[in-house]
Amino acid sequence: MLIGDFARLGHARSDRKAVDWRVCRAPNGDVMRLCAVVLVEEDSDRMALHTLADRRGRDLATEGIDVVAMGGITNTRAFASHYGPRGLGVPLAGLYDAPEEAKLQHGLAAAGVGAALEPDRLTELGFYTAAVRAYRTRHR
């Protein structure tokens, strides 16, 4: 959705001009800039974040924030490589389950976010444990 037509057009360019891959098309067709990507494990996490944003009167897409479901924590490296410092250069943030912290750290580090391996740095980098999800899991 947020990479849209400009990413595909950029690959086909032959004039070698610099292309800002963070430029994309909004659902209404307007050109917008991708300001941040929030990585989450599953689609249910993505929907929960959008629901919370809606309740607070925020439209994440309009703000240039894309919430991306990775299909599991083991895909962190691929998604962080695509969107992060070695890819599109978009600021990253995310939610993760506390037991998956080591997998997240190693995936981020492999994608060029080296500070992820330092103790207690994930919060400073914008990555937080999904406490509500953990609560729900424990109380089923």
CATH number attached to the domain at 34-138:
3.40.50
Per-residue pLDDT reduced to its tens digit, 74-127: 999 999 999 999 998 899 999 999 999 999 999 999 999 989 999 889 999 999
pTM above 0.75, yes or no: no
- Number of residues that make up the chain: 140
Is residue 66 a contact partner of residue 93, using CB atoms and an 8 Å limit? no
Per-residue pLDDT reduced to its tens digit, 61-83: 888 899 999 999 999 999 999 99
